[in-house]
Each structure stands twice: as C-alpha cells, then as structure tokens.
Amino acid sequence: MNSEGETTAWYVLRTQVKKERAAAAFLSEDPDVEVFFPKLRYLKTTRRGKIWWVEPLFPGYLLAKFDHVTHGRLVTHAHGVSKIVSFGEQVPMVPSEFVEALREEVYKHQEVDGEIIVGWKVEKGQEVEIAEGPFKGIQGEVLEVRPSIERVSLLLEFLGEQKPIEIDIRNLILADPDLPESLQN
C-alpha cells in the first residue's frame, strides 16, 4: 500500500522498440490501469517539406498506475510492454506528485492528446545570438519575427555599423547577459 492507503501506484514501463503507442493503447483499455504517455509534437524539415512529427517524450518508456499485486502480470505481458522497470527485486514506485506535476506541464502546453507542441518563440526586442553560418557568435536584437516563413530580422553591429539582416529562426540561440561568455554556447 502507498502512503494514501491505496493499493495502486505509478510505475515506469519499458516498452518494446517503437511500441510505446501500442502499449499505451492496449493498457488504456483496462479500467484498472491508468496510462500517462506524453508526446512531443514539432515541425521537422524533410525532403517532402515541413511536416509535423510526433514522438514520445520518454522514448521506450511510459508511466502506468495500477495495483502491482493484482495487475503486475497483466501489465508485464501486455502487447508492446517489455517489462516493469525494476532494480533487482525492487520495483520502484513513481511519486504521484511527480506524475501530477508532469501532467500539469504537459497539459499546459498540449494541443491534442497529451502532446507538447515544441516551438521556439522569439519576440521583438529580444537579444539573440547567431549559432550557425558566417555570423556565428554575433549577438543582435530581434526587429521582426516572421513565423510563417520561420525567419527573423535582426539588428547587428557589424564593422562599426548597425545593419539589419534576415536569418532562419533555427539558427538562433537566446543571448543571456547574466551568463559568462564561455557558458552561453
């Protein structure tokens, strides 16, 4: 029994390779098993163009809440599940507070079905540093953000003058004036 007097607890399940979705779907059908399977959704550039890509937040793992005594065997042998994560004979429980905090964070950012939408946002006036290309290492101020084409206009000091340039948003990192230069990369 856990501290709340319940016999159910959260456990980490190791899934078979690329079977997280199948395991989560199968286990979700059992009313005595609660599954938490957070996913990341992000825009990825491919040869076919930009597509939305979805992958597990924890590849190869998912969280499930169940009574280990009565449902441990069922969960272990569920479609897509490899094993319940253990350390020798000890099967550690995941604190409910951790799972709830993680859920709050996921659902705060979710758009659909427990997916965290990943996208880096910059705002006008923000200080950024160029991470790639001929201007690598130079810092500038964001003048304009063009999210539809994923580009930003920056004001850079270059050769003693301030010049506006346009750059791909993925080539930027946030400039943090509080960090020493050696730690900003």
Query: 153-163, pLDDT tens digit by residue?
Result: 898 887 788 88
* Token digits of residue 66: 């169940």
For residues 152 and 179, state if they share a domain. yes
Give the closest residue to 124 by CA, choosing from 139, 109, 142.
142
For residues 105 and 169, state if they share a domain. no
Give the pLDDT confidence of 51-90 residue by residue, as tens digits: 778 899 999 999 999 999 999 999 999 999 999 999 999 9
Last residue of a domain, one of 118, 141, 168: 118
Residue 185 CB partners (closer than 8 Å, separation 6+) = 173
For residues 133 and 114, state if they share a domain. no
pLDDT of 99 above 90:
yes
The larger pLDDT score, comparing residue 125 to residue 108, is at 125
Cβ-contact 177, 127 below 8 angstroms: yes
Q: What angle do CA 99, 104, 105 make, to 5 degrees?
A: 100
For residues 100 and 150, state if they share a domain. no
Give the closest residue to 21 by CA, choosing from 32, 10, 37.
37
Residues in a beta bridge with 145: 152
Residues in a beta bridge with 52: 43
Domain with 27 in it: 8-118
Handedness of CA 47, 53, 58, 59 (dihedral sign): negative
pLDDT at position 134 is 82
* Token digits of residue 29: 């059908």
DSSP conformation class of 126: -
Tell me the whole-structure pTM to 2 decimals: 0.62
For residues 69 and 136, state if they share a domain. no
pLDDT at position 182 is 38
Total structural domains in the chain? 2
